[in-house]
Amino acid sequence: MPQIVVDQLRKSYRIHERDPGVGGALRALLRPRHRTVEALAGVSFALERGELLGFIGPNGAGKSTTIKILAGILRPDGGRVQVNGRDPFADRERHVAHIGVVFGQRTQLWWDLPVGDGFRLLGDIYRVDPVRLARTRDELVALLQLERLLDQPVRQLSLGQRMRAEIAAALLHEPDILFLDEPTIGLDAPSKLAVREFVLRANRERGTTVLLTTHDMHDIEALAQRVIVIGHGRVLADGPVEALRAQVMAARRAETGLQADAEDDEGMAIEAVITRFYALHSATEA
Protein backbone atom coordinates (compact mmCIF):
# COMPACT_ATOMS: atom_id res chain seq x y z
CA MET A 1 0.00 0.00 0.00
CA PRO A 2 1.38 3.47 -0.89
CA GLN A 3 2.57 5.62 1.99
CA ILE A 4 0.56 8.62 0.79
CA VAL A 5 -2.81 8.30 -0.90
CA VAL A 6 -4.69 11.34 -2.16
CA ASP A 7 -7.97 10.58 -3.85
CA GLN A 8 -10.23 13.17 -5.46
CA LEU A 9 -9.18 15.83 -2.98
CA ARG A 10 -11.29 19.00 -3.00
CA LYS A 11 -10.85 22.24 -1.14
CA SER A 12 -12.48 25.64 -1.56
CA TYR A 13 -11.89 28.88 0.30
CA ARG A 14 -14.58 31.44 1.06
CA ILE A 15 -13.33 34.94 0.55
CA HIS A 16 -15.01 38.01 2.01
CA GLU A 17 -15.33 40.74 -0.57
CA ARG A 18 -15.52 44.44 0.10
CA ASP A 19 -15.23 47.63 -1.88
CA PRO A 20 -12.39 49.97 -1.01
CA GLY A 21 -12.71 52.84 1.50
CA VAL A 22 -14.86 53.50 4.56
CA GLY A 23 -18.08 53.19 2.53
CA GLY A 24 -16.97 49.76 1.35
CA ALA A 25 -16.21 48.66 4.91
CA LEU A 26 -19.67 49.81 6.06
CA ARG A 27 -21.45 48.10 3.17
CA ALA A 28 -19.49 44.90 3.89
CA LEU A 29 -20.71 45.05 7.50
CA LEU A 30 -24.34 45.54 6.53
CA ARG A 31 -24.42 43.20 3.58
CA PRO A 32 -21.47 40.79 3.58
CA ARG A 33 -20.48 39.41 0.20
CA HIS A 34 -18.53 36.23 -0.41
CA ARG A 35 -16.74 34.60 -3.27
CA THR A 36 -15.61 30.99 -3.41
CA VAL A 37 -12.20 30.02 -4.74
CA GLU A 38 -11.83 26.40 -5.73
CA ALA A 39 -8.21 25.58 -4.77
CA LEU A 40 -8.39 21.81 -5.33
CA ALA A 41 -10.88 20.36 -7.78
CA GLY A 42 -10.28 16.61 -7.40
CA VAL A 43 -6.56 15.93 -6.99
CA SER A 44 -5.46 12.29 -6.93
CA PHE A 45 -2.05 10.66 -6.62
CA ALA A 46 -0.20 8.07 -4.59
CA LEU A 47 3.35 8.07 -3.28
CA GLU A 48 5.38 5.04 -2.28
CA ARG A 49 7.73 5.04 0.70
CA GLY A 50 11.13 6.48 -0.25
CA GLU A 51 9.97 8.41 -3.32
CA LEU A 52 11.13 11.96 -4.01
CA LEU A 53 8.35 13.84 -5.74
CA GLY A 54 8.53 17.26 -7.35
CA PHE A 55 5.11 18.85 -6.92
CA ILE A 56 5.00 21.79 -9.29
CA GLY A 57 2.55 24.19 -10.84
CA PRO A 58 2.14 27.90 -11.45
CA ASN A 59 1.17 30.42 -8.75
CA GLY A 60 -2.20 29.65 -7.22
CA ALA A 61 -2.34 26.10 -8.63
CA GLY A 62 -3.07 24.50 -5.24
CA LYS A 63 0.34 23.18 -4.16
CA SER A 64 0.46 24.73 -0.69
CA THR A 65 -3.16 23.79 -0.07
CA THR A 66 -2.33 20.16 -0.85
CA ILE A 67 0.69 20.23 1.50
CA LYS A 68 -1.36 21.81 4.27
CA ILE A 69 -3.94 19.04 3.93
CA LEU A 70 -1.23 16.35 3.88
CA ALA A 71 0.32 17.92 6.98
CA GLY A 72 -3.00 17.86 8.86
CA ILE A 73 -3.20 21.67 9.02
CA LEU A 74 -6.27 21.96 6.80
CA ARG A 75 -9.33 19.74 6.52
CA PRO A 76 -10.33 18.94 2.92
CA ASP A 77 -13.91 19.56 1.78
CA GLY A 78 -14.06 16.28 -0.07
CA GLY A 79 -12.07 13.26 -1.17
CA ARG A 80 -9.80 11.01 0.81
CA VAL A 81 -6.29 11.48 2.13
CA GLN A 82 -4.22 8.90 3.97
CA VAL A 83 -0.64 9.20 5.15
CA ASN A 84 0.94 6.16 6.78
CA GLY A 85 -2.58 4.75 6.92
CA ARG A 86 -3.88 7.73 8.94
CA ASP A 87 -6.20 10.60 8.25
CA PRO A 88 -3.84 13.58 8.75
CA PHE A 89 -6.48 15.94 10.13
CA ALA A 90 -8.52 13.55 12.27
CA ASP A 91 -5.44 11.81 13.68
CA ARG A 92 -3.22 14.88 13.81
CA GLU A 93 -1.34 14.15 16.99
CA ARG A 94 -0.02 10.77 15.86
CA HIS A 95 0.35 11.97 12.29
CA VAL A 96 2.74 14.85 13.06
CA ALA A 97 5.14 12.52 14.86
CA HIS A 98 5.92 10.95 11.48
CA ILE A 99 6.20 13.99 9.25
CA GLY A 100 8.48 17.01 8.94
CA VAL A 101 7.30 20.20 7.25
CA VAL A 102 9.23 23.19 5.97
CA PHE A 103 7.41 26.23 4.62
CA GLY A 104 10.04 28.38 2.91
CA GLN A 105 8.16 31.54 3.69
CA ARG A 106 7.53 30.85 7.37
CA THR A 107 9.48 29.72 10.40
CA GLN A 108 8.66 26.91 12.78
CA LEU A 109 11.44 28.04 15.09
CA TRP A 110 11.01 30.80 17.67
CA TRP A 111 12.01 34.18 16.31
CA ASP A 112 13.67 35.50 19.49
CA LEU A 113 15.14 32.23 20.73
CA PRO A 114 18.59 30.93 19.85
CA VAL A 115 18.45 28.11 17.32
CA GLY A 116 19.75 25.54 19.86
CA ASP A 117 16.97 26.43 22.36
CA GLY A 118 14.40 26.07 19.57
CA PHE A 119 15.74 22.59 18.82
CA ARG A 120 15.42 21.63 22.50
CA LEU A 121 11.84 22.91 22.62
CA LEU A 122 10.93 20.96 19.50
CA GLY A 123 12.47 17.84 21.06
CA ASP A 124 10.18 18.34 24.08
CA ILE A 125 7.12 18.98 21.92
CA TYR A 126 7.74 15.80 19.90
CA ARG A 127 8.70 13.93 23.10
CA VAL A 128 11.94 12.68 21.57
CA ASP A 129 14.13 10.64 23.89
CA PRO A 130 16.92 13.07 25.03
CA VAL A 131 19.79 10.74 24.06
CA ARG A 132 18.29 10.19 20.64
CA LEU A 133 17.58 13.88 20.23
CA ALA A 134 21.19 14.78 21.03
CA ARG A 135 22.45 12.25 18.48
CA THR A 136 20.12 13.38 15.69
CA ARG A 137 20.75 17.04 16.48
CA ASP A 138 24.53 16.57 16.36
CA GLU A 139 24.24 14.78 13.03
CA LEU A 140 22.02 17.48 11.52
CA VAL A 141 24.18 20.28 12.93
CA ALA A 142 27.25 18.76 11.29
CA LEU A 143 25.56 18.01 7.95
CA LEU A 144 23.90 21.40 7.65
CA GLN A 145 26.82 23.35 9.12
CA LEU A 146 24.90 24.89 11.97
CA GLU A 147 27.62 24.85 14.66
CA ARG A 148 28.08 28.59 14.73
CA LEU A 149 24.38 29.36 14.57
CA LEU A 150 23.17 27.48 17.63
CA ASP A 151 23.59 30.47 19.96
CA GLN A 152 22.06 33.00 17.60
CA PRO A 153 18.42 34.09 17.76
CA VAL A 154 16.53 33.06 14.65
CA ARG A 155 15.75 36.69 13.78
CA GLN A 156 19.47 37.36 13.29
CA LEU A 157 19.99 34.59 10.74
CA SER A 158 20.32 35.18 7.04
CA LEU A 159 17.71 33.50 4.86
CA GLY A 160 20.10 30.71 3.86
CA GLN A 161 21.16 30.09 7.46
CA ARG A 162 17.55 30.08 8.60
CA MET A 163 16.53 27.62 5.92
CA ARG A 164 19.25 25.19 6.99
CA ALA A 165 18.07 25.56 10.59
CA GLU A 166 14.45 25.02 9.50
CA ILE A 167 15.31 21.81 7.69
CA ALA A 168 17.16 20.52 10.76
CA ALA A 169 14.18 21.51 12.93
CA ALA A 170 11.83 19.54 10.67
CA LEU A 171 13.98 16.42 10.96
CA LEU A 172 14.84 16.39 14.68
CA HIS A 173 12.16 13.83 15.47
CA GLU A 174 13.34 11.63 12.56
CA PRO A 175 10.14 11.70 10.51
CA ASP A 176 9.86 9.31 7.59
CA ILE A 177 8.16 11.91 5.37
CA LEU A 178 9.36 15.41 4.61
CA PHE A 179 7.10 18.05 3.06
CA LEU A 180 9.11 20.94 1.63
CA ASP A 181 7.16 23.95 0.40
CA GLU A 182 9.57 26.17 -1.58
CA PRO A 183 12.63 25.43 0.58
CA THR A 184 15.02 27.22 -1.79
CA ILE A 185 13.04 30.42 -2.26
CA GLY A 186 15.28 33.47 -2.11
CA LEU A 187 18.45 31.48 -1.46
CA ASP A 188 21.77 32.19 -3.18
CA ALA A 189 23.32 29.51 -5.41
CA PRO A 190 25.58 27.87 -2.75
CA SER A 191 22.72 27.72 -0.24
CA LYS A 192 20.43 26.18 -2.86
CA LEU A 193 23.06 23.58 -3.60
CA ALA A 194 23.48 22.81 0.11
CA VAL A 195 19.72 22.32 0.55
CA ARG A 196 19.49 20.15 -2.57
CA GLU A 197 22.40 18.01 -1.53
CA PHE A 198 21.00 17.50 1.93
CA VAL A 199 17.51 16.61 0.68
CA LEU A 200 18.99 14.10 -1.73
CA ARG A 201 21.04 12.50 1.04
CA ALA A 202 18.05 12.30 3.39
CA ASN A 203 16.11 10.59 0.63
CA ARG A 204 18.85 8.21 -0.55
CA GLU A 205 20.54 7.34 2.73
CA ARG A 206 17.64 7.41 5.17
CA GLY A 207 14.87 6.54 2.75
CA THR A 208 12.89 9.64 3.76
CA THR A 209 9.93 10.20 1.45
CA VAL A 210 10.05 13.75 0.13
CA LEU A 211 7.34 15.87 -1.43
CA LEU A 212 8.87 19.09 -2.71
CA THR A 213 7.22 22.15 -4.17
CA THR A 214 9.36 24.73 -5.91
CA HIS A 215 9.35 27.27 -8.70
CA ASP A 216 13.05 26.65 -9.26
CA MET A 217 13.23 24.08 -12.01
CA HIS A 218 16.87 23.39 -11.21
CA ASP A 219 15.63 21.94 -7.90
CA ILE A 220 13.43 19.63 -9.93
CA GLU A 221 16.19 18.73 -12.37
CA ALA A 222 18.58 17.96 -9.51
CA LEU A 223 16.18 16.08 -7.27
CA ALA A 224 12.97 14.68 -8.63
CA GLN A 225 12.66 11.40 -10.44
CA ARG A 226 8.95 11.99 -10.65
CA VAL A 227 7.01 15.19 -11.13
CA ILE A 228 3.35 16.00 -10.61
CA VAL A 229 2.16 19.16 -12.30
CA ILE A 230 -0.99 20.78 -11.05
CA GLY A 231 -2.90 23.68 -12.52
CA HIS A 232 -6.19 25.19 -11.34
CA GLY A 233 -6.49 22.50 -8.68
CA ARG A 234 -6.16 19.56 -11.06
CA VAL A 235 -3.36 17.13 -11.86
CA LEU A 236 -2.11 17.88 -15.37
CA ALA A 237 0.74 15.39 -15.50
CA ASP A 238 2.35 12.72 -13.36
CA GLY A 239 5.62 11.16 -14.48
CA PRO A 240 9.29 11.84 -15.15
CA VAL A 241 10.40 15.26 -16.39
CA GLU A 242 11.34 13.59 -19.67
CA ALA A 243 7.68 12.73 -20.32
CA LEU A 244 6.78 16.42 -19.97
CA ARG A 245 9.61 17.31 -22.34
CA ALA A 246 8.37 14.78 -24.90
CA GLN A 247 4.83 16.19 -24.68
CA VAL A 248 6.04 19.76 -25.13
CA MET A 249 8.24 18.79 -28.08
CA ALA A 250 5.45 16.85 -29.78
CA ALA A 251 3.17 19.89 -29.46
CA ARG A 252 5.90 22.17 -30.84
CA ARG A 253 6.42 19.89 -33.83
CA ALA A 254 2.70 19.70 -34.47
CA GLU A 255 2.62 23.52 -34.41
CA THR A 256 5.62 24.15 -36.62
CA GLY A 257 5.68 21.05 -38.78
CA LEU A 258 9.35 20.47 -37.82
CA GLN A 259 10.84 16.98 -37.83
CA ALA A 260 11.86 15.29 -34.60
CA ASP A 261 15.40 16.22 -33.59
CA ALA A 262 16.63 14.47 -30.45
CA GLU A 263 19.46 16.95 -29.95
CA ASP A 264 17.14 19.91 -30.19
CA ASP A 265 14.67 18.25 -27.80
CA GLU A 266 17.29 17.59 -25.14
CA GLY A 267 18.75 21.05 -25.57
CA MET A 268 15.66 22.88 -24.37
CA ALA A 269 16.24 24.25 -20.86
CA ILE A 270 13.98 22.84 -18.19
CA GLU A 271 12.44 26.27 -17.45
CA ALA A 272 11.38 26.53 -21.09
CA VAL A 273 9.93 23.01 -21.04
CA ILE A 274 7.85 23.74 -17.95
CA THR A 275 6.76 27.19 -19.14
CA ARG A 276 5.59 25.68 -22.44
CA PHE A 277 3.89 22.85 -20.58
CA TYR A 278 1.95 25.37 -18.44
CA ALA A 279 0.97 27.31 -21.57
CA LEU A 280 -0.06 24.15 -23.38
CA HIS A 281 -2.46 23.33 -20.55
CA SER A 282 -3.53 26.94 -19.87
CA ALA A 283 -2.36 26.27 -16.34
CA THR A 284 -1.42 29.79 -15.32
CA GLU A 285 -3.72 32.28 -13.62
CA ALA A 286 -5.85 34.43 -15.95
Ligand X SMILES: Nc1ncnc2c1ncn2[C@@H]1O[C@H](COP(=O)(O)OP(=O)(O)OP(=O)(O)O)[C@@H](O)[C@H]1O
CB of 133 to ligand X, least distance (A): 32
Q: Does 17 participate in binding ligand X (rule CB under 6 A)?
A: no
Least distance to ligand X, CB of residue 284, Å? 11
By the rule CB under 6 A, 26 interacts with ligand X: no
62 part of the interface to ligand X, by CB under 6 A: yes
Interaction between residue 15 and ligand X (CB under 6 A): yes
Please tell me the distance from the alpha carbon of residue 258 to that of residue 249, in angstroms, as a whole number: 10
Given 60, 79, 116, 160, the residue binding ligand X (CB under 6 A): 60
214 binds ligand X (CB under 6 A): no
Kindly tell me which of 115 and 187 has the beta carbon lying closer to ligand X: 187
Alpha helix ranges (H) inside 71-114: 92-96
Rounded to a whole number of angstroms, the distance between the first and last alpha carbons of the chain is 38
C-alpha span between 6 and 119 (Å, rounded): 31
**What CA–CA distances, in Å, run from 101 to 203, 232, 263, 264?**
15, 24, 39, 39
Measured from the CB of residue 151, what is the shortest distance to ligand X in angstroms?
Answer: 33
CB of 28 vs ligand X, minimal distance in Å: 16
Question: Is 79 among the residues that bind ligand X (CB under 6 A)?
Answer: no
**Binding residue for ligand X (CB under 6 A) from 13, 130, 261, 266?**
13
Residue 61 within binding range of ligand X, rule CB under 6 A: yes
- Looking at beta carbons only, is 165 or 228 nearer to ligand X? 228
How far from 271 is each of 218, 222, 247, 276, 277, CA to CA, in Å?
A: 8, 13, 15, 8, 10
Dihedrals phi, psi of 109, to nearest 5 degrees: -90, 175
- Compute the distance between CA of residue 281 and CA of residue 236 in angstroms, rounded to an integer: 8
Distance of CA 174 to the CA centre of its chain: 18
Number of residues interacting with ligand X: please give it, by CB under 6 A.
12
Residues near ligand X (CB under 6 A) are 13, 15, 37, 39, 57, 59-65
